Amino acid sequence: MLDVASVRRSFPALQRMVHAKQAVYADGPGGTQVPQAVIDAMTGALRRGVSNLGGPFAASREATAITDAARAAVADLYNAPSPNDIVFGQNMTSLTLALGRALARTWDPGDEVVCTRLDHDANVSSWMQAALEAAAVVKLADFDTESGRLDPAAIAEVITDRTRLVAVTHASNAIGSIVDAAIVTQLAHDVGALVFVDAVHYAPHGSLDVQRIGCDFLAASAYKFYGPHIGALYGRTELLAEVDAVKIRPAPSEPPGKWESGTQSFESLAGVTAAVDYVASLGTGEHRRDRLVDAMRHISAHETLLSERFLQGIAAIDAITLYGPNGAAERTPTFAIDVSGVTPSEVARRLGAEGIFVWHGHYYALEVMQHLGVLDTGGLVRIGFVHYNTLDEVDRVLGVLAAIAGG
């Protein structure tokens, strides 16, 4: 069982006070806070001093060691076959845009790219732009607006023998729905298409496993799993080698270096390793991968309790509409709601005045909001919990929501 009190002591930001009330970070889907271990790793790298890669001196060798350690850590987090399958970039969006431009060079006019309306726009617009460069066709698979679920059959309906890539989210950053990425991958591979999985929202809530999924690419951002602002992409070894990256001439010609534009943030890479090690510290096992899987089991169990408490409480407030799955097992602890008669921005403002941090609007999930019919009316309010949140915090959120809904 997760020791939440001990977990919370690891996160300095959780001590923030707002109007003499302890802040409630219910904005996890937009980015998590970081434990002290991550802060120490990043400041330690800066304090010691690092230089760029490839120099014959100590500070440069330290940069190489930091980079290698971060690749190994993310390889364990993703269950990638090799650390050299891991590419770092400024964020998931920039990595996806760069990969899209590279893959577009291998497509012919009339080829197809499949995305879903459940996805964050980084996993829609990136591929729309890539398709535009190649004169390819973009197809969008719908999700069910009532249940919030993405039925793999909806993707199967739009895949053809001209499909070159299927982009799918592992979990919706907007309404919390979890997607079976392994089934989607099999459907795509059956017609010879590649698969790109956006795991940004799923990463803090469940075990990632690119080998189980079988996908060709998977990306996440460390700031969603208790680390710094940096993105990490997994690519299948042979694809990273075969596909021509968009790069400058002095850049390495072999992966993963050929996919990493310019100098990386070495302090952020140190923070990535610390973030992965922090998560692993919550589990047990002989190897870090084993500890990560065990830790996510404990995290998931705690977050299920948070979800069940929130779902039960929200169902008792008549003026509130919940979007997405009704069952805790079908979703992450991320909830999109609408309060009748109160704009999303006003709900977020009033929660913020009580020291409760949430997001409102579309949170870059444009297709989701448009499909739900709320894009032009201010979007929705998004409330999201992670493993450092408590049942008392859930109750506090519910209490303020009930007051807002009651006028």
3-class state of residue 215 by DSSP: coil
Sequential DSSP letters for 79-122: T-S-GGGEEEES-HHHHHHHHHHHHHTT--TT-EEEEETTS-GG
* Nearest by Cα to 234 from 206, 203, 270: 203
Stretch 351-361: mean pLDDT: 98
Structure confidence at residue 250 as a pLDDT band (50, 70, 90): confident
Tally the C-alpha atoms within 13 A of residue 51's C-alpha that lie toward its C-beta: 8
Instruction: Provide mean pLDDT across the span 20-33.
Output: 97
- Proportion of the chain above pLDDT 90, given as a percent: 97
Q: What is the DSSP string of 111-154?
A: -EEEEETTS-GGGTHHHHHHHHHHT-EEEEE---TTT----HHH
In the chain, the amino acid numbered 293 is V
Could you tell me where the beta strands, DSSP code E, fall in 252-374? 320-323, 334-339, 356-357, 359-361
Mean pLDDT of 270-275: 98
Query: How far is 220 from 206, CA to CA, in rounded Å?
Result: 13
The pLDDT of 300-312, averaged and rounded, is 98
Of 233, 258, 251, residue with least CA distance to 97: 233
Q: For residue 86, list its beta bridge partners.
A: 234
Distance from C-alpha of 345 to C-alpha of 342, rounded to nearest angstrom = 8
Give the pLDDT mean for 354-372. 96
Give residue 207's pLDDT band: very low, low, confident or very high (50, 70, 90). very high
- CA R_g for the chain: 21
What is the C-alpha to C-alpha distance for residues 301 and 386, in angstroms, rounded to an integer?
Answer: 11
User: Which residue ranges form the domains of the chain, and what is each CATH number?
Assistant: 4-35+295-405 (3.90.1150.10), 40-280 (3.40.640.10)
pLDDT at 314: 97
CB-CB contact of 395 with 345 (8 Å):
no
Residue 169 bridge partners (DSSP): 198
pLDDT in tens, 72-124: 999 999 999 999 999 999 999 999 999 999 999 999 999 999 999 999 999 99
Amino acid 232: pLDDT = 98
> What average pLDDT does the segment 315-337 reach?
96
Predicted structure pTM score = 0.97
pLDDT at res. 192: 98
Residue among 74, 90, 82, 75 at smallest CA distance from 238: 82
pLDDT at 261 over 90: no
Of residues 375, 393, 377, the one with CA closest to residue 385: 393
Q: Cα–Cα distance between 142 and 185 in angstroms, integer?
A: 17
> What pLDDT was estimated at residue 226?
98
- Name which of 264, 283, 174 is nearest 222 in CA terms: 264
Number of Cβ atoms within 10 Å of the Cβ of 376: 8
Contact call for residues 316 and 395 (beta carbons, < 8 A): no
Alpha-carbon distance of 106 to 215, in angstroms, equals 18
Q: What is the mean pLDDT of the chain?
A: 97
pLDDT at 400: 98
Output b/e per residue, 245-272; b: 16+ Cβ within 10 A: bbbeeeeeeebbbbbbbeebbbbbbbbb
For residue 2, what are the contacts with CB-CB under 8 A and spacing of at least 6?
Answer: 282, 298, 299, 301, 302, 387
DSSP code of 7?
H
Instruction: Inform me whether the pLDDT recorded for 407 exceeds 80.
Output: no
Percent share of the chain, pLDDT over 70 = 100
**What DSSP designation does 231 have?**
E
